[in-house]
Structure 1
Amino acid sequence: MPFVRIDALRADTDRLDALGRAVHEALVETLGIPPDDRFQVLVGHDGVTSTLRHDTYGGIQRDEGIVYIAVTLRAGRAPEAKQALYRRIAELAHTYAGTEPRNVFVTLTENASADWSLGNGAAQYLAPDRTRGMPGSGANS
């Protein structure tokens, strides 16, 4: 269950929606995330009251089209799967939102099953029956 935060400079609602769709589709395609497993925070920065800073670290010429994508997910994916995810996010961000791949900055933060509560104050991934404590499961409904 990934949790995604996307920050983009001068992004309107349509661009943020397109970026969110790009990241979610990439997660589904490359990591096998369930299609209904979407939890995202989408934030546009106007460059006046809030901004995003960037540099040319790594020899990449970024510009005002910069997008920061932070994905928190449970540990265990192979490096090749992560590389496929990065590529697919950049491709889909370009296709859906017109964001140049050079402006797509992605970071993954991994954690353990105990680090998640999906609601109802329960740690569902630790429960012997993963539906325990989930809405509609009968356990805590």
Structure 2
Amino acid sequence: MPLVRVDAVAADPQQLDAIGDAVHAALVDGFGIPADDRFQVLRGAAGDRVVYDPGFRGVDRDDGAVFVQVFLRRGRTDEQKRAFYRALAKHAGLAGIEPRNLVVALTENGLADWSFGNGEAQYLDDPPS
């Protein structure tokens, strides 16, 4: 179960939905997660302050910048991660987001790092396959 957080510098609610759809489609394509495994926090930055370097690592980004954090269980290969990044760029592009504006961070964790409610560690009691 990946948990996704998106902060978009200048996105309105419709754009946030499109970004969320793109990230989810990329998770399904790149990592093979189930289509109904969708947990996202989508935020536009209209009232917030977002700071970014417009040319970091040689990528020319602007106020269309979108920050994507994905928290997921440990175990994906580097090639799966590359496939996810490519799929996200493709799906985001189809949603009108310029791939150059995507900044992505994957954070891996273990089974004990998840609770789905009731103060329980469900993955420890019933590990996913």
Asked if Structure 1 and Structure 2 have the same fold, meaning a TM-score greater than 0.5 normalized by the shorter chain, the answer is yes
Segments of structure 1 that go 5 or more residues without pairing to the other structure are 132-141
**TM-score scaled by length of structure 1:** 0.86
Report percent identity of matched pairs.
54
Looking at structure 2, the residues matched to 110 and 44 of structure 1 have their Cα atoms a distance apart, in angstroms, of 25
Deviation at 1:51, TM superposition (A): 2.5
Q: Which runs of 4+ in 1 moved over 2 A?
A: none
Deviation per residue, 1:102-129 (Å, 9 max, x gap):
10111000000000001122111111x4
**Contact 2:111/2:127 (CA < 8 Å) preserved in 1?**
no
Looking at structure 2, the residues matched to 114 and 59 of structure 1 have their Cα atoms a distance apart, in angstroms, of 38
1:82 and 2:81 aligned: yes
Deviation per residue, 1:14-71 (Å, 9 max, x gap):
100000000001101111111111110000011xx31221111101111010000000
Deviation per residue, 1:51-109 (Å, 9 max, x gap):
2211111011110100000000010000000001011111111101x111110111000
Looking at structure 2, the residues matched to 29 and 100 of structure 1 have their Cα atoms a distance apart, in angstroms, of 19
Deviation at 1:130, TM superposition (A): 4.8
Structure number with higher relative contact order (C-alpha < 8 Å, ≥ 6 residues apart): 2
Q: Secondary structure at the match of 1:37?
A: coil
**TM-score scaled by length of structure 2:** 0.94
Alignment RMSD: 1.3
Query: Residue 31 of structure 2 corresponds to which residue in structure 1?
Result: 31
In terms of Rg, which structure is larger? 1
1:103 and 2:96 aligned: no
